[in-house]
Chain A
Amino acid sequence: MDSNSNNKKFWKSISEYNNEPEILKNKRNEFSEGVTDDFEPSELSGMSRRKFIALMGAATAITATACSDYRDKGEIIPYNKRPEEILPGTANYYASTCTGCESLCGILVKTREGRPIKIDGNPDHPVNKGKICAKGQAEVTNLYDPTRIKEPLFNKRKVSWEQADNQLISEFKKATEDGVEIALISEHILSPTFNKLLAEFKSKYPTTKQYYYSATDNGNKLNAAFQSYGNYSIPTPRYDKAELVVALDDDFLGVDGNSIENTKNYSMKRDAINKVNFNRLYVIEGRMSLTGMMSDYRMRLRPEAQLEFVWTLINELKSNGSISFPAELASKVSNYTITKLVSTYKINEKKLRGLLSDLSKSKGKSIITAGKNLSESVHVSVNYLNELLNNTGNFDYNNFDLGASYASYKDFENLVSKMESGKVGVVLNLDINPLFNLPADLGFGKGYSKVKTTVAFTLENNETSEKSKYLLPINHFLESWGDYRNKTYVMSLQQPVINPLFNTRQKESIFLTWVSGEAKSYNVNSYHKYLLENFDTAIYNNSSKKTDNKSFWYGSLHDGIVELNTTTNSKGVFNTGSFGSLSNPAVKSNFSVYLTEGYFLGGGKFANNGWLQETPHPVTKITWDNYVSVSPSTAKQFGIEKDDLLEISVNNKKLKIAAVIQPGLADEVLHIEFGNGRKVVGDVGLETGVNAFELISKKNTESNFVLSGAEFSKTGETYKLASTQEHHSLDDTFVKDFHKVRKIIQEGTVNEYKKHPHFLHDEKHEVFSITDEHKYTEVKWAMAIDLNKCTSCGGCVTACNVENNIPVVGKDQVLLGREMQWMRIDRYYSGTPDEPETSNQPMLCQHCDNAPCENVCPVNATNHSPDGLNQMAYNRCVGTRYCSNNCPYKVRRFNFFNFRDHFADSYYENNLTPLGNNPEVTVRSRGVMEKCTFCIQKIMDARQVAIKEERPLNGNDVVTACQQACPAEAIVFGDSNDPESKISKYRKHNLAYHVLETLNVKPNVTYIAKLRNTHSEEV
């Protein structure tokens, strides 16, 4: 560089260039007057320039060091602008409606950062009152199911919605022009707005014909209601009103009807804590059901004999003058006597006579119900018997009139013949699976393939959608708008809590597009708008209008429900002719197959839900499979053992299925639950059980689910069933009645208790400690479980799974005894194998004060909190499993594998499933022990709120997941140091006991002993 460039003269303005004097003067005095006058560097800062540089350097170095350990965990996008309503780390709850089944429970959906993670019941809902079943809880997994269909498909190829809509609309038009049928097959539509929309669809395409079909239908009950009362509305028994309940193969606490409502009502009559107001439950059944396990008296009777049983009751009640019976019908029932029934079906006569005297004594205070699988005749007879006993006041007649029954097999036969002759242009399957559920001899599948346009609305691929030309993926109900009504006095609203995860649409808006006849008319909000309009006209305009329509809508949406003032009693007059026209019961001998709905899989709808597949069956504790149950005497007679593969043949159809020996099952009954055995299903549901629908034939007349004239043979093969509880033979004296001997289960009778309230603690003596015990000065957490109320429905187990991110381990691991559920329901039998008495007991970590697990952990990973919790520090756990060995309750669960990726089909190895995880609960790695925490995240939440509000923590603020889910309110949780709390009252109760009290581990879970409401003091 030459020196010239350094001497270059710079100028800032023309005046400077011209060397104007004013400028020159200013230049000399660079800081003009006033700027530097007060400038005193020493006063500005004590920091020198060097020091500043040094500090800055140090700060940079420290920052750089701190950042160096940052591991990029993938893309994290923070909110630039916080969305309304969402506060990161805080859950939002939205009211909606569960449409998993026809019960339509009101729900509160818990969402975190925009993701629904848990479904609880909506406490404001007048029917389910804040409770929800296992299936409803597990719906979150269905939402995040990676096997959901993500795009509309035409002939199995991706197609745009617009194209599909265009093609379909032209098909509809063509069908209308040609006068061929558009068959619309669905379950009963319980949404008024959707019904209105479908009516519009029908008027636009008048050849549309609607068929109602459900795999788990209660058609017999519905038809009987129509026969008896002239409408399609099944009255709901009010179990909270009746003193005597006689259930004929009616699993009303399990899967018959709205089990949540029933359980809630029933449990009100099982209050041992305050007033001992027990009802008496008789169950007469062929299978062993959840309700049967709860019964005070249980009689075994094959399902075909139920008609005879009812008629015998009528006849005997007539004979002893308890009821006035029309003389013209007397001859109809006069042949049926107790003696005959006892001799034909080997029923315990004493129990039967007891039932009769109870029935005569509690006229007007009893309920007789029959299960949905029994024939129409039984239901008509039961309706009549209730009328005769003046029991109608114990029924709620507010169920919505469905207007029509289900399509019969005859209807389907007609449809199939029309399909085969080309008289059906389009078949629309609305989220149902007839190819899986309908009897094969209807030929539906064959007819279906001949229809030009077949459409399946579905969440995921199934047997029907597989064979359909169009596959329209629909929204999960958590992504949908809707209004639902199955009771006259309440309308439930459904709102989306997450944007559709995939390119799916809700089925209503698809119809809306079709009704408009214009594929382009679709808009994400179109059904929302339609719903609003309908809501305004149908609900708002009829309401008392205290607010404007918008506020009214938002208010209702917030509550999730609209209570309607149309409580008209829809009970009709009983039509005696319906009873008179019944044909006489026929005596059946030989074996019969009895099919009932599985507890957790519905008609196969939930087959791809791991949580439900792995929830142990309430009775047999078997997971992942269905099986045929045979009675112990049948098993003995034919040399059948558990896991033997039997070949069942009935209706010329054969089915190979593994056997289970079920105590208490009626002889000559082969009981199978359906819902398993799906062939076209996601990874989870594959190869889980067999399809029992295959046994049903269109020829079944009385009931689709009772198949007489069955035969079976042993194949000589075996098939391993995965049970979470080892099956101990009842007649094995070696292990008989251990649960009673060891005081795991303590029971009594109502009469015994009334006479001698302290009977449970007669032998009890105080144990003194030789050391000072730890004092719990503040809150001390404790739980009580009322065994009088617990029905073992499994709702708590699923709720716990969802709340605490409990992994699904798969059948192979359940077989090895490595299921991970923190909560289990133990089932014990006593009595004889034929007439067993069942005791159930939810078992979870007992949070013992003297916890044996704590002192054996070498690394202090499990320890005790100051508020009485037995804690697990997952980070510290090295996995010696010593704690689990030393736990007398065996409630600890070890991660034998990394269950998130071990599960055979890598169930969790996708981006979707983990979205359902609860972010408040650590996802445990392999090699770590885990167990019930008493929902510590909820305790901490409540504590935080209490601290913020500057008040002491109140034990009632915490509701554990299992407690929240329990429809019977059998679980109580709270602060046992608070003498006013409910839990203290439970713990001090005369019926309270701890399991294995003799070990002196001082559990904090108290059980309230079960009382059986028998006639005598003896069980």
Chain B
Amino acid sequence: MSEVDYSVELSVVEGRPGLREIEDLITKPLESKPDKKFFIAISITLTMLMIGVIGLGLTVYYGIGMWGNNNPVGWGFGIVNFVFWVGIGHAGTLISAILFLLRQKWRNGIARFAEGMTIFAVMTAGIFPLIHVGRPWLAGYLFPYPNQHSIWVNFTSPLLWDVFAVSTYFTVSFVFWYVGLIPDFAALREKTSNKIKHIVYSIFSLGWRGSNKHWQNYEMVYLILAGFATPLVLSVHTIVSFDFAVSIIPGWHTTIFPPYFVAGAVFSGFAMVQNVLIFVRKIFNYEHIITIDTLEKMNKIILLTGTLVGYAYAMEFFIAWYSGVQAEQFTFINRAFGPYAWAYWIMISCNVISPQLFWFKKLRRSLVPMFIIAVFVNVGMWFERFVIVISSLSRDFLPSSWAYFTPTATDFAILIGSFGLFFTLVLLFTKALPVVSIAEIKAVVDGAQPTHKEH
């Protein structure tokens, strides 16, 4: 692609494909039997998942002692992974809701997939608060339910806010996703010749007939839900950041955490969506639907949020110095030069330095570099949580209790398993539902919405 003319609005879908053509293309994976590549892919992800299940089994059977957690470092990989996956889950709703409200048409090609990833990421994330507790079989205590002991949950605890924030976010995202799927279910219902599929699609399409009234109602619901989901995008990671910000541990007790966490979440979420989409558009021949232009726009957001995150890192240092609190100052010096300096510098190079490469248009628009940079971003964002959680805890107020955290094989097994679960769900999603919104993409094909210009 040569020069882009910014004076005209770019077509979201390239090449003016016919509406029928789009429908066929998008529903093709659902109509055809899984091929060999699919089985190879899913066997890999299932193996990863199994590794995680074994790690989880050991944890539940023997106890948290199977992990590397120790006395000052009460939270280890469990919470790191939780925050990481919740962060990944941010891009979807941001793309589908906030960009929808901002009338960003380019989102239509990627919204469905991103939203699916949100749901799977939140599902993956949701496992961690449960399994990281010492007695998961009593996790019900975290919910406010009336009981004979008249014991209520503690509403001052950020962990409890987490329970509500994450479950609300999941519910709303799920409903939003489903509502968006209704017209597509109807389209699938019409298209399929399989009886069972027909019944299933009929149920899920809720009697959609594509009437004008339906469309009107649908647009209204979608708009309301988008409005509803928008604050949640910001609130969920804000509240996750409260887990740290509300505590008194140096390195955690920071007011910058809510915006910093949200920026970080969007950053990592976009990187993950971009990574997966690069494969999806190739495998399913969606190159003209999920275009390089779309990916470039995503890369620009990665550049923006990456810079925000870099600013937050710098500001944390500045405030630590400015506060004059010795413990605070030490925590940050210790991050950069202490025993976990290696993790800190991985984080800085992946999160702050690597996205800066997106200033180069060439890199923004070529697949291999952008893929690599986004992988770095994900690695970096995982390490950011590692640095925050572990390096702060391992050296807090009393030097006498400082200790180094070393993860165990079980820790890694569960981390691998979480990726296994996420990608298994993603793979199943590609075979079960249209990964691009048929209705929405039809709406943005050139010529789908005639204007006076074309006549």
Q: Which of B382-408 contact A (CB under 8 A)?
A: 393, 396-404
- Are A884 and B134 in contact (CB-based, < 8 A)? no
- Residue B255 at the A interface, CB < 8 A? no
Q: Which of B149-166 contact A (CB under 8 A)?
A: 151-154, 156-160, 163
- Residue B135 at the A interface, CB < 8 A? yes
- Residue B142 at the A interface, CB < 8 A? yes
- Residue B248 at the A interface, CB < 8 A? yes
- Are B134 and A878 in contact (CB-based, < 8 A)? yes
- Are A742 and B62 in contact (CB-based, < 8 A)? no
- Residue B133 at the A interface, CB < 8 A? yes
Per DSSP, chain A at the interface is loop
- Residue B119 at the A interface, CB < 8 A? no
- Are B74 and A927 in contact (CB-based, < 8 A)? no
- Are B134 and A744 in contact (CB-based, < 8 A)? no
**Cβ–Cβ < 8 Å partners of B71 in chain A:** 817-819, 884, 890, 893-894
Listed residue (B74, B334, B337, B404) with the most chain A CB atoms within 10 angstroms of its CB: B74
- Are B398 and A744 in contact (CB-based, < 8 A)? yes
- Are B154 and A859 in contact (CB-based, < 8 A)? yes
**Cβ–Cβ < 8 Å partners of B136 in chain A:** 878
Q: Which of A917-946 contact B (CB under 8 A)?
A: 925-929
Residue of A817, A881, A889, A925 near B398 (CB, 8 A) is: A889
**Cβ–Cβ < 8 Å partners of A859 in chain B:** 141-142, 151, 153-154
Look across to chain A and name the residue whose beta carbon is closest to the beta carbon of B389.
A885
On whether A897 and B327 interact (CB within 8 A), knowing A890-B72, A999-B248, the answer reads no
Shortest C-beta distance, A722 to chain B (Å), equals 12
**Cβ–Cβ < 8 Å partners of B422 in chain A:** none
Shortest C-beta distance, B403 to chain A (Å), equals 4
- Are B397 and A881 in contact (CB-based, < 8 A)? no
Shortest C-beta distance, A80 to chain B (Å), equals 37
- Residue A324 at the B interface, CB < 8 A? no
**Cβ–Cβ < 8 Å partners of B157 in chain A:** 855-858, 882
- Are B153 and A860 in contact (CB-based, < 8 A)? yes
- Are A881 and B153 in contact (CB-based, < 8 A)? no
Give the A interface residue count (CB, 8 A).
Answer: 57
Q: Which of B63-122 contact A (CB under 8 A)?
A: 63-65, 68-75
- Are B64 and A858 in contact (CB-based, < 8 A)? no
A977-1017 vs B, CB cutoff 8 Å, 1 = contact: the mask equals: 00000000000000000011001010000000000000000
**Cβ–Cβ < 8 Å partners of A843 in chain B:** 398, 400
Residue of B62, B142, B159, B163 near A902 (CB, 8 A) is: B62
Shortest C-beta distance, B145 to chain A (Å), equals 12
- Residue A741 at the B interface, CB < 8 A? yes
- Are B151 and A860 in contact (CB-based, < 8 A)? yes
Range class of the B interface residue count: 35 or more
**Cβ–Cβ < 8 Å partners of A885 in chain B:** 74-75, 247, 249, 393
- Are B248 and A888 in contact (CB-based, < 8 A)? yes
Per DSSP, chain B at the interface is loop
- Residue A392 at the B interface, CB < 8 A? no
Q: Which among A61-69, A520-528, A820-828 touches the partner chain?
A: A820-828
- Are A881 and B75 in contact (CB-based, < 8 A)? yes
- Are A858 and B135 in contact (CB-based, < 8 A)? no
Shortest C-beta distance, A931 to chain B (Å), equals 11
- Residue A768 at the B interface, CB < 8 A? no
On whether A826 and B141 interact (CB within 8 A), knowing A858-B163, A895-B134, the answer reads no
Look across to chain B and name the residue whose beta carbon is closest to the beta carbon of A863.
B154
Look across to chain A and name the residue whose beta carbon is closest to the beta carbon of B74.
A881
- Are B72 and A858 in contact (CB-based, < 8 A)? no
- How many Å lie between the Cα of A999 and that of B326 in the bound state? 12
- How many Å lie between the Cα of A890 and that of B401 in the bound state? 7
**Cβ–Cβ < 8 Å partners of A725 in chain B:** 400-401
Shortest C-beta distance, B266 to chain A (Å), equals 26
- Residue A322 at the B interface, CB < 8 A? no
**Cβ–Cβ < 8 Å partners of A218 in chain B:** none
Q: Which of A818-861 contact B (CB under 8 A)?
A: 818-819, 824, 826-828, 841, 843, 852, 855-860
- How many Å lie between the Cα of A858 and that of B129 in the bound state? 12
- Are A884 and B74 in contact (CB-based, < 8 A)? yes
- Residue B138 at the A interface, CB < 8 A? yes
- Are B247 and A856 in contact (CB-based, < 8 A)? yes
Write the residues of chain B forming the contact surface with A, with a CB cutoff of 8 angstroms.
62-65, 68-75, 132-136, 138-139, 141-142, 151-154, 156-160, 163, 243, 246-249, 326-327, 330, 333-334, 337-338, 393, 396-404
What are 14 of the A-B contact pairs (CB < 8 Å)? A813-B65, A818-B70, A856-B246, A882-B159, A882-B247, A888-B397, A890-B71, A890-B396, A894-B64, A894-B134, A897-B62, A902-B65, A927-B63, A927-B134
Write the residues of chain A forming the contact surface with B, with a CB cutoff of 8 angstroms.
725-726, 728, 734-735, 738-739, 741-742, 744, 813, 816-819, 824, 826-828, 841, 843, 852, 855-860, 876-882, 884-886, 888-890, 893-898, 902, 925-929, 995-996, 999, 1001
What 4 A-B pairs are tightest by C-beta distance, nearest first? A879-B134, A927-B134, A896-B65, A817-B70
